[in-house]
Amino acid sequence: MALRLTGSIDVSDSITSTHFSGSFSGSFQGDGSGLTGIDVFPYTGSAEITGSAEITGSVSFSGLISPSATWSTGGALSTARKDLGGLGTQTAGLAFGGYGGYTSTEEYNGTTWGSGGALPTPRLYLSGAGTQTAGLAMGGSYFGSYKNSTNEYDGASWSAGGNLITGRFTLGAAGTQTAGLAFGGFDSGVTFSCTEEYNGATWSSAGVGPLLTARYYLAGAGTQNAGLAFSGNGSNNVCTEEYNGATWTAGDPLATARDNLAGAGTQTAGLAFGGYSGGYSSCTEEYDGSSWTAGGAMATGRSTLAGAGTQTAGLAFGGYSGGYSSCTEEYNKSPGGFGTTFDYSPTTGNTMIIPPTSDPGIVGALWNNSGTLAISVG
């Protein structure tokens, strides 16, 4: 963990604290003599100070709050379903198809699900990518039909897109409506490694490398040029691969083996949740581009669910845990912060703590009438 102080300090007096171990680097106005005896944060690392803030007087701060990552209950789907497709964000999600849903589409507004335009054909085991107003549904099956189908959603209705070259179901997906990525899957006894890219009209496999490990029941995240594929059937249930727009390379394996899970986020900030491995999993893991680490557990363990959103604002919906599920859960991760306020003394202005705004890493700020010293931990 590193402490980052954004803004340089005009140190005319002193900055003090307790339990700090680390070093400051950057530029200072003034002689910097007041930086001696810094001893505040229960961490080791470095702090970087850049910019300008012109603070004079003494400053103290203490008490880190650990980051948190938890799932909470959202509005239930109108139609309980499993093996469905999903896409979008935590506040603008889209659920479509699946057992129990078939052609049904639902839109999430961050609180409740409402009816959307119906899929032209009923499908199970399909995948999705994109947004609630520019969505992409691909693959799937219904009694052996529609396995190469692609449909595009405009926020009100679905229309036909270009067919997949290789028809399949239980595949992985990533990207957007105009830059989609489809990989893996299964059909007629064949497990696929093939990858296809969508340009908004047609799918192509030219110059597109296959997965290193053929599999189905996998999940996906990321973009067409930076995709992430993880989990899969059988012994492939910990396998992770990263796509660079042309080829796949091996990534760090999942810590918890499972298949039939869901995913969200990006190649460097991925989220894997749910699934099945001898039981219905509530496990959540976060990927940072190098390795997976444990996240907060889901309240309801389930498999064959759908996901959307990001690593810090995820959405899980539908699935199976002994019956078709209408359960929706929202994942939120806070970066941590300071348990006590900054204590800024003197004559140059007022001091207060502000919550994170556009930068989720900023956990507080020291403010005076000359500028802001933003404090972030991450």
**pTM here?**
0.77
Contact 183, 229 (CB under 8 A): yes
DSSP 188: T
Stretch 36-51: mean pLDDT? 35
Res 67: pLDDT: 64
The residue whose two tokens read 């609180």 is: 111
Work out the average pLDDT over 42-71. Answer: 48
Residue ranges of domains in the chain, CATH in brackets: 3-66+336-377 (no CATH), 69-334 (2.120.10.80)
User: Which range among 80-94, 273-287, 340-354 shows the weakest confidence by mean pLDDT?
Assistant: 340-354
Name the band, by pLDDT with cuts 50, 70 and 90, for residue 334.
confident
pLDDT in tens, 344-374: 433 334 343 333 334 444 334 443 334 344 4
User: Could you read off the pLDDT of 142-154 as tens digits, one per residue?
Assistant: 999 999 999 999 9
Q: How far apart are CA 56 and CA 369, in angstroms?
A: 11
Q: How many CB atoms lie within 10 A of CB 28?
A: 15
Residues 184, 229: contact at Cβ < 8 Å? yes
- Cβ(172)–Cβ(220) below 8 Å: yes
Tell me the pLDDT tens digit for each residue of 88-97. 999 999 999 9
Task: Place 43 in a pLDDT band, splitting at 50, 70 and 90.
Answer: very low
**Structure-model confidence comparison of residues 256 and 11, the more confident one:** 256
Question: Do residues 223 and 175 touch, judged by C-beta distance below 8 A?
Answer: yes
| Residue 248 β-bridge partners | 243
Whether the pLDDT of residue 124 is over 50: the answer is yes
Mean of pLDDT over the chain: 80
pLDDT of residue 49: 39
CA–CA separation, 203 vs 200, rounded Å?
A: 8
Structure tokens at 143: 């009694």
Given this model, what pLDDT does residue 336 score?
A: 55
Could you give the CA distance from residue 62 to residue 3 in angstroms, rounded to a whole number?
12
pLDDT score at 338: 44
Q: Does the pLDDT at position 119 exceed 90?
A: yes
Q: For residue 335, name the pLDDT band (cuts at 50, 70, 90).
A: low
Q: How confident is the model at residue 68 (pLDDT cuts 50, 70, 90)?
A: confident
Closest by Cα among 127, 132, 137 to 155:
132
Residue 115 confidence class, pLDDT cut points 50, 70, 90 = very high
Q: Is the pLDDT of residue 103 over 70?
A: yes
66 confidence band (pLDDT: 50, 70, 90): low
| pLDDT attached to residue 200 | 98
Q: What is the per-residue burial (b if ≥16 Cβ within 10 Å, else e) of 123-155?
A: bbbbbbbbbbebbbbbbbbbeeebbbbbbbbee
